[in-house]
Amino acid sequence: LLRFVPATAEVVMGIDCAALRGHPLIQDWLIEHQASWSGADDDLARFLADAGLDPLRDVDQVVVGVVPGRPRGQGLAVFAGHFDTAALAAAMQKRGGTVATIGTTVGYAFSSPPRVEILVALVSPTLVIAGDEATVRGTLAPNADHSQLADRETGAGRVDLGSDFWLVAVVPEEMRRHAAAVANDVSRGANEVRGLVLASGAIQRVTMQACLGTSLFLRGVAVADTGDNAELIRDAVKGALAAMRLEVGASSKELVDVLRDVDVTQRSTEVTVNAEVPVRLIETLLRERHTCSAGHTR
C-alpha cells in the first residue's frame, strides 16, 4: 500500500485492521459498542447500508499519508479489503458524487467549499483510495514518485511495518519553533511536562508502533538534531514518567509498576522508549472508566 503514498507526505501511518479485530480485547469492545457506533450518525449509517460496507468487517488494512502545507487537509488514505464497488459507486452518486476518471480508474468527486475537493478512487474491489483530488490524482498518475519515508525508517531499524499500528513523521520546522512558546503556557507546577515540551523542539523525526497480544507492546523513537539534545529529551521523558507515577500513587499499583518498567534509552541522536501494558490492566482501566461514566450519567 505504501506505493500509493505520495513522495511529499511527511506523516505516514498504517493500521492492520484485520489483526486488531481478531484480538479478544477488540472483539469484546466491538460487541459492546457496535450498536451505538452504527447508529451514532444516521447519515453515515444509511450511506454504509447503501454501499454494502461494514468498515469493521470489510477493511483489512489502512495506510494514511499526510502532505504538509496549505490548504490543510491534504493527503490520502488507502483502504485494502473487500468492497462492493458497484454499490459503493451508487451510494456516492446518490449523495452528489460526480464521476471523475483517473486513467482507467473511476472515482467520485465531492466539492465542499471552502475545503479542498475530495476524490474517492475505486481502484479495484480490494482497494479504495480517498483524499484531496490533487493528491489522489498525483499518486495514481503514471510514473508518480512515492514516499520513501517509511522505508528509510524501517531500514534504520526505527519502526516495524509489520506492527498492528505504526507511524513515521517528520516534525515540521514551524512546530519545532513553537515548542518553546507552548512550554511557557504549561501550568505552573508541571515542570516535568514543561521540560518535555521544551525538549521536543529538538526532535526532527518520530516513529511509533504498537502490537496487541497478551500485552500491548509500545515503542517510540525520537531523532533529535544533536546528541546533547537527545540526552535532554531522554531526561525529560524519564522526569515525566516519574511525575506520572507520583500522580497515580496508590490508586493502581499495577499501573505504577508498568510506568516504572518503561525503558528509556539514548544512542547518539536517538531516544527510544519501550513499554508493555498487560491486557488485563487495560481491561481493568476500561471497566473503571465505564463505571465512572455510568455514575456521572445517572
Q: How confident is the model at residue 86 (pLDDT cuts 50, 70, 90)?
A: very high
CB atoms within 10 A of CB 207: 25
Residue 240 · residue 192 · CB < 8 Å: yes
Q: Which of 53-57, 89-93, 286-290 has the highest mean pLDDT?
A: 89-93
With cell 483510495, the residue in question is 129
d(CA 152, CA 158): 9
Residue 101 · residue 107 · CB < 8 Å: yes
Predicted pLDDT at 72? 67
Peptide linkage before 278 cis (omega within 30 of 0): no
Q: How confident is the model at residue 42 (pLDDT cuts 50, 70, 90)?
A: confident
Residue 210 · residue 254 · CB < 8 Å: no
List pLDDT tens digits, range 137-195: 999 999 999 999 999 999 999 999 999 999 999 988 877 777 666 656 655 445 666 66
| pLDDT score of 37 more than 60 | no
| pLDDT score of 120 more than 90 | yes
Task: Give domain limits for the chain.
Answer: 2-140, 149-297
Predicted pLDDT at 70? 63
| pLDDT score of 122 more than 90 | yes
List pLDDT tens digits, range 214-243: 999 999 999 999 999 999 999 999 999 999
